[in-house]
């Protein structure tokens, strides 16, 4: 069973101070699972990861690596030393690159770090797929193909839209992690997310992890918003 009971909070903040004041709103003994992405990592650096880990929270480091296998491996050796709980690469980098990423994590001591892959970004339309990437299939076929090669490379799972979970689990295995962003509790704003799903529907359909950003980070009462979403996810 891979289901993570805590919604993963996307810490999409530009500064260290914003992260600190957000986390300070939660009781100190409440251990969260947070996602640190490119903006925060590139502006503040690895220090923010160490800070969050020292508070006892779990971290998904969402840097989406995509480069030649040797470079990705070297980067993963370094990232492994941060002790994050999960990190990711682009499946488009190929099986060899994904295997190199895993090797790098292990070599850096990150045996316990889960490694997942991005299939197709949810911002990729069929037009972009066909014209820019020259992949002449449907988005779903492209996503399932990438999920299969991610599984073949021995990674733990993929980032995908909740709508794709069933297809992906059928093409891989039920233990293959599907981490799904684009989650909106009923009644909240979609923002720029096009295809959204509620926490309970995502659970129903087989998501193992949900990533939630603005419905928590921009709520008037962030702790209450988090608790409500967590409750709905685990109901």
> Which of 70, 191, 224, 234 touches ligand C5P by CB under 6 A?
191
The DSSP annotation for 110-147 comes to -TT-EEEEE-S-TT--HHIIIIIS---S-HHHHHHHHH
Question: Using CB under 6 A, which of 7, 104, 110, 182 touches ligand C5P?
Answer: 182
Neighbour tally for 69: CB within 10 Å: 18
Q: Which is nearer to ligand C5P, 12 or 85 (CB)?
A: 12
Q: How far apart are CA 211 and CA 59, in angstroms?
A: 12
Q: Cβ 201 to ligand C5P, closest distance in Å?
A: 15
- Regarding 37 and contact with ligand C5P (CB under 6 A), the answer is yes
Contacting residues for 135 by C-beta, under 8 A, at least 6 apart? 129, 142
State which of positions 10-29 bind ligand C5P (CB under 6 A): 10, 12
Residue nearest to ligand C5P according to CB distances in the complex: 213
Encoded tokens for 97: 């690159």
Of 172, 174, 175, 135, the C-alpha closest to 152 is 172
Phi, psi dihedral angles at 197 (to 5 degrees): -145, 150
Among this protein's residues, is 64 annotated catalytic? yes
Catalytic residue among 20, 53, 64, 99: 64
61 binds ligand C5P (CB under 6 A): no
Residue from 71, 193, 200, 227 touching ligand C5P (CB under 6 A): that is: 193
Confirm if 26 and 32 have CB atoms less than 8 A apart: yes
Count, residues near ligand C5P per rule CB under 6 A: 14
Instruction: Indicate which single residue of 110, 181, 185, 199 sits in contact with ligand C5P (rule: CB under 6 A).
Output: 181
Near ligand C5P in 151-180, by CB under 6 A: 159
Dist. CA 168–CA 158, nearest whole Å: 9
Q: Is 122 in the site for ligand C5P (CB under 6 A)?
A: yes
Active site residues: 64
Report the interface residues with ligand C5P, using CB under 6 A.
10, 12, 37, 121-122, 159, 181-182, 191, 193, 211-214
């Amino acid at each position: 069973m891979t289901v993570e009971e805590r919604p993963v909070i996307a810490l999409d903040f530009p500064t260290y101070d914003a992260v600190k004041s957000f986390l300070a709103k939660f009781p100190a003994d409440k251990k969260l699972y947070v996602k640190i992405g490119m903006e925060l990592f590139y502006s503040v650096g690895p220090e923010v990861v160490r800070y969050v880990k020292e508070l006892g929270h779990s971290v998904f480091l969402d840097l989406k690596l995509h480069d030649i296998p040797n470079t990705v491996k070297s980067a993963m050796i370094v990232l492994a030393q941060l002790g994050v709980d999960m990190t990711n690469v682009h499946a488009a980098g190929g099986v060899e690159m994904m295997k190199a990423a895993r090797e790098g994590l292990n070599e850096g001591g990150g045996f316990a770090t889960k490694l997942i892959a991005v299939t197709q970004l949810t911002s990729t339309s069929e037009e972009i797929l066909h014209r820019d990437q020259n992949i002449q299939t449907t988005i779903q076929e492209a996503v399932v193909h990438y999920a299969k090669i991610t599984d073949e490379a021995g990674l733990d799972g993929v980032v995908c839209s909740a709508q794709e979970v069933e297809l992906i689990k059928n093409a891989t295995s039920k233990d293959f992690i599907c981490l799904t962003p684009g989650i909106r509790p009923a009644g909240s704003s979609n923002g720029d997310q096009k295809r959204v799903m509620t926490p309970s529907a995502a659970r129903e359909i087989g998501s193992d992890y949900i990533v939630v950003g603005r419905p928590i980070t921009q709520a008037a009462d962030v702790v209450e918003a988090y608790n409500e979403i967590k409750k709905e996810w685990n109901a």
